[in-house]
Amino acid sequence: MAPMRQQPINDDSISEMEAMRLVRSLGELRKTPQQGGAHARHAAIAETVESQVIPRLLEACRQSLVDTALAAPQTELTEQVTALTDLLLSGTQPQAADFVERVQAEGVGREQLLLNLFTPAAHRLGVMWAEDDCDFADVTIGMVRLANVMRLVSHAFEAEAAPVLAGPRALLVQAPGEQHGFGITMVASFFRRAGWNVHSEPLSSSGELISLTQREWFSLVGISVACSDRLHQLAVVIRSIRAASRNPAIGIMVGGNAFIEHPECADMVGADSTATDARLAVAQANALVSRLACQR
């Protein structure tokens, strides 16, 4: 039986060492023998998952990653993107961080690093995995390294703005159950730099998301969705947020791979707006919140 393939982990809250331990543990789990009747049950379940479930999930995620890469903004840092991606896969995190510092020393600003270096590098890692140019372990470690390097730049990027004590509140999250946290982390940095008070902790369920908007006041909720097969569920969640929200005029934006090629889906799920990148998301959020405030 061919080995099953996992989706790369994309969680900037874990360290490179922790990710490597997780990768090794998954490899050992596949090698662990099963005894007696448990072996037969395990084999039957694995065969069903591999033959019926995995192909559908794999095709959905593969198409999502390829669509994201095709829709990625053009960049003037093409050579630097290639070099950084190679370091993320075959070098070390300090080497990647040193490379980013050299690019910045050549006059590339932090905003351009975030939009035109880190984002295309993440896209390239995803496509390399989708096209079988590298395995899930390599992409997992590469994404952890990229997220850690990006965090350093994001902190300095946010600090460039003057502090705002009473900015509007935004709840920015990835759809519950998804692992694609890279994009929402970057968007949160742009919002903070623009003076927003941002809550972006991962939420374990849609119920937790709805309850949070019911307990606390937010001017805006932003939800990132990677796979289009979650859109029906997202529409239900958005209706529930509007019904339960402590702010009756709450604004709701959506983003992520599911909306890059089909922005019209934002209307279908009941959102107010969508944006193709972090900079545009801030501009649209500011306009949306101002418009909703005038309608009260």
Q: Say if residue 106 is in the same domain as residue 149.
A: yes
In a domain, 182, yes or no: yes
Q: Say if residue 178 is in the same domain as residue 268.
A: yes
**Parent domain of 194:** 169-294
- Which residue, 104, 135, 159, sits at the end of a domain? 159
Q: Distances from the Cα of 56 to the Cαs of 40, 62, 69, 134, 250, in angstroms?
A: 24, 10, 20, 20, 36
pLDDT confidence of residue 72: 46
In a domain, 147, yes or no: yes
pLDDT confidence of residue 20: 54
Q: Say if residue 202 is in the same domain as residue 258.
A: yes
Contact, 78 vs 95, CB < 8 A? Answer: no
Residue 202 CA to residue 174 CA, distance in Å, equals 7
Q: Say if residue 45 is in the same domain as residue 142.
A: yes
In the chain the first and final C-alpha atoms are separated, in Å, by 61
Q: Say if residue 87 is in the same domain as residue 204.
A: no
Contact, 256 vs 226, CB < 8 A? Answer: yes
In a domain, 108, yes or no: yes
Q: Say if residue 287 is in the same domain as residue 174.
A: yes
Q: Say if residue 76 is in the same domain as residue 128.
A: yes
Q: Say if residue 185 is in the same domain as residue 242.
A: yes
Class of residue 134 by CB neighbours under 10 A (exposed 0-12, middle 13-18, buried 19+) = middle
Q: Say if residue 153 is in the same domain as residue 255.
A: no
In a domain, 24, yes or no: no
Give me the residue label for tokens 């009473």: 166
Number of domains into which the chain is organized: 2
pLDDT confidence of residue 177: 73
Q: Say if residue 203 is in the same domain as residue 185.
A: yes
In a domain, 32, yes or no: no
Residue 259 CA to residue 149 CA, distance in Å, equals 26
- Which residue, 116, 133, 159, sits at the end of a domain? 159
- Which residue, 111, 136, 159, sits at the end of a domain? 159
Give me the residue label for tokens 């999250």: 173
Q: Say if residue 142 is in the same domain as residue 246.
A: no
CATH number of the structural domain spanning residue 258? 3.40.50.280
Residue 249 CA to residue 220 CA, distance in Å, equals 9
Give me the residue label for tokens 């569920």: 233
CB count, 10 Å around CB of 24?
11
Contact, 3 vs 30, CB < 8 A? Answer: yes
In a domain, 60, yes or no: yes
Which residues does residue 68 pair with via DSSP β-bridges, in sequence order? none
Q: What is the pTM of this model?
A: 0.68
pLDDT confidence of residue 3: 41
pLDDT tens string, the chain, 296 residues long: the values are: 344 344 443 444 445 555 555 545 544 444 444 455 555 544 444 444 344 433 443 444 444 444 444 344 445 788 999 999 999 999 999 999 999 999 999 999 998 898 889 988 988 888 888 788 888 788 888 888 998 899 889 888 888 765 655 679 999 998 877 765 678 888 999 999 998 999 988 888 999 999 999 999 999 999 998 877 878 899 999 999 999 999 999 999 999 888 887 889 999 999 999 998 888 999 999 999 989 887 76
In a domain, 27, yes or no: no
In a domain, 228, yes or no: yes
Residue 187 CA to residue 172 CA, distance in Å, equals 8
CATH number of the structural domain spanning residue 56? 1.10.1240.10
Q: Say if residue 151 is in the same domain as residue 100.
A: yes
